[in-house]
């Protein structure tokens, strides 16, 4: 596992294990044929499982590779972790 994925996983697990997941959101790069590449947000409440490669959501279908996670935001929208080199997409 690369250091970057390891770091993302550590940050996600730290928030989940503190029981404060409902207060945080993940921003990730979503790629679809219909919309192309775009940034999307999801609540930590939706996370069912985190492995060393991906996040599995509660719908039992959606899997988000960890390399697509761009940022973690708190309940006020403040960045608590951001992949280095990413630009702020908020206006």
- Write the CB contacts of 34 (distance below 8 Å, at least 6 apart in sequence): none
Domain count, the chain: 1
pTM of the shown model = 0.81
- Residue 77 falls inside a structural domain: yes
- Residue 91 falls inside a structural domain: no
**Which residues span the domain enclosing 75?**
3-82
In whole angstroms, what is the distance from residue 8 CA to residue 90 CA?
21
90 — pLDDT class (breaks 50, 70, 90): very low
pLDDT greater at residue 47 or residue 86? 47
Convert 2-21 to b/e letters by CB count within 10 Å (16 or more is b). eeebeebbebbeebeeeeeb
pLDDT greater at residue 66 or residue 32? 66
Residue 86 has pLDDT above 70, yes or no: no
pLDDT at 6: 82
Q: Are 66 and 53 in contact (CB under 8 A)?
A: yes
Give the mean model confidence (pLDDT) for residues 29-56.
93
Give the mean model confidence (pLDDT) for residues 67-80.
95
- Residue 19 falls inside a structural domain: yes
């Amino acid at each position: 596992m690369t250091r970057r994925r390891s770091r993302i996983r550590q940050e996600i697990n730290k928030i989940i294990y503190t029981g404060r997941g409902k207060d945080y959101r993940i921003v990730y790069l979503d790629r679809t044929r219909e919309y192309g590449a775009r940034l999307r947000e999801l609540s930590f409440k939706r996370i069912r499982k985190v492995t060393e490669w991906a996040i599995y959501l509660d719908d039992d279908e959606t899997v988000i590779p960890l390399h697509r996670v761009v940022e973690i935001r708190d309940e006020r929208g403040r960045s608590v972790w951001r992949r280095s080199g990413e630009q702020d997409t908020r206006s």
